């Protein structure tokens, strides 16, 4: 007699972690994991976010993929130590959000940074000759001040991106744009405050979020396990064959994370960021 068995994934909860600054590598990894969640027909997804935010486009792509996945999968986001700015934006892709009472969240807004090294370059006798096709092609060049027209262009860019952020939060949390703008001024707040504002559904740990996800799809919270999509090792560990160097990096608190952050800073200079910067 032929028996039909449910795939094991139907009895498990998928789990994806988003850690650190959100950029291209994070986007690629998370989108691939979300595709697998859909293909393997996991009934629920636990999305653990511990991030200060990141680039606008990458955050938007992850959010869009999560919203599409909502049609087939129940998604519960768990905000960890910090889930701010772009981390909040991604969290809006979940139907439900849980945060610790002391989670640092918020920082809803957009920032764009440029570095002006003009005075330093003058001291060392360095100058640049620029040939450009239009007056704004070298906007945010590091060897000169911004012009007033350039400031207007960049402010318009930031304002549009900010409006997109506000609209997403408003739609996802069933709030009005006006309500969101009352707290979307770049400030950060605790998980407890976020519940009061309507940004988060309830307070709790990641374990509480896991149990909620199980209950939403009719699984036993006591027995249901998570299948975690593992994050690849940091680039510095994968490319380095020197065991002593790897050991040294791993024994210095925060050094590996510092290398990743430096890569992020260098690769996103001049880009609009949804990023909490303490």
Pinpoint the residues of the chain covered by CATH 3.90.226.10. 9-107+187-232
Q: What's the pLDDT score for residue 7? A: 58
- Helix-strand-coil split of the chain, %, nearest 5: 45, 20, 35
9-107+187-232 CATH fold = 2-enoyl-CoA Hydratase; Chain A, domain 1 (3.90.226)
Catalytic residue (choose from 35, 72, 137, 225):
137
Q: Is 137 a catalytic residue?
A: yes
Catalytic residue (choose from 85, 107, 161, 172):
85
Asked whether 87 and 18 are in contact (CB, 8 A), the reply is yes
Pinpoint the residues of the chain covered by CATH 3.40.1750.10. 110-174
Cα 44–46–48 angle (5° rounding)? 165
Place of tokens 């700015």: 85
Report which DSSP code applies to 229.
Answer: E
Beta-strand pair 273-275/202-203: unpaired
Q: Which residues of the chain have pLDDT under 70?
A: 1-9, 232-272, 274-278
Q: What's the pLDDT score for residue 128? A: 81
Q: What's the pLDDT score for residue 268? A: 60
At the fourth CATH level, the homologous superfamily of domain 110-174 is peptide peptidase (sppa) like domain (3.40.1750.10)
Q: Is 85 a catalytic residue?
A: yes
Q: What's the pLDDT score for residue 3? A: 46
Q: What's the pLDDT score for residue 50? A: 95
């Amino acid at each position: 007699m032929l028996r039909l068995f449910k795939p094991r994934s139907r009895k498990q909860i998928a789990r994806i972690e988003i850690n650190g600054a959100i950029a291209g590598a994070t986007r690629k990894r998370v989108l691939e994991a979300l595709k697998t969640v859909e293909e393997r027909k996991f009934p629920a997804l636990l999305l653990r976010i511990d991030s200060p935010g990141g680039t606008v486009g990458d955050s938007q792509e992850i959010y869009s993929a999560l919203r599409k996945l909502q049609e087939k999968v129940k998604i519960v986001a768990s905000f960890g130590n910090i889930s701010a700015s772009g981390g909040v934006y991604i969290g809006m892709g979940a139907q439900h959000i849980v945060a610790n009472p002391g989670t640092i969240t918020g920082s809803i807004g957009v920032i764009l940074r440029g570095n002006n090294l003009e005075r330093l370059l003058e001291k060392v006798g360095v100058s640049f000759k620029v040939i450009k096709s239009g007056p704004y092609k070298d906007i945010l060049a590091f060897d000169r001040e911004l012009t007033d027209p350039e400031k207007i262009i960049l402010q318009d860019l930031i304002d549009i991106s900010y409006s997109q952020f506000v609209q997403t939060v408003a739609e996802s949390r069933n709030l009005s744009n006006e309500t969101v703008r009352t707290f979307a001024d770049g400030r950060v707040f605790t998980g407890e405050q976020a519940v009061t504002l309507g940004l988060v559904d309830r307070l709790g740990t990641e374990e509480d979020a896991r149990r909620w996800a199980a209950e939403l799809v009719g699984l036993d919270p006591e027995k249901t396990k998570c299948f975690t999509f593992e994050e690849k090792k940091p680039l510095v560990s994968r490319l380095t064959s020197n065991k002593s160097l790897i050991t040294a990096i791993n024994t210095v608190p925060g050094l590996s994370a510092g290398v990743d952050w430096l890569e992020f800073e260098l690769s996103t200079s001049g880009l609009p960021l949804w990023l909490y910067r303490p």
